[in-house]
């Protein structure tokens, strides 16, 4: 899944009771940030 800066995605968070609930998150970084900071992005198939 390709995402861009300012996109809203839903991440599954595990609650203490074991259930998973979706939670919205905003993409704030870009590939250029990863390259500039020498970080490795999470693989797309992760």
pLDDT in tens, 6-36: 888 898 989 999 999 999 988 877 666 666 6
So what's the pLDDT on residue 27? 81
So what's the pLDDT on residue 5? 77
Q: What is the dihedral of CA 22, 46, 8, 29, to 10 degrees?
A: 140
Q: Which residues contact 3 (CB under 8 A, 6 or more apart)?
A: 9, 27
How many angstroms separate the CA atoms of 25 and 4, rounded? Answer: 12
So what's the pLDDT on residue 6? 81
Higher pLDDT, 25 or 5: 25
Residue pointed to by tokens 């993409």: 27
Q: Which residues contact 16 (CB under 8 A, 6 or more apart)?
A: none
Q: Extract the tokens encoding 18.
A: 């074991």
**The model's pTM:** 0.49
């Amino acid at each position: 899944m390709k995402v861009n800066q300012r996109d809203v995605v839903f991440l599954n968070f595990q609650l203490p009771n074991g259930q998973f609930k979706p939670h919205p998150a905003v993409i704030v970084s870009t590939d250029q940030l990863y390259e500039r900071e020498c970080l490795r992005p999470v693989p797309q198939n992760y």
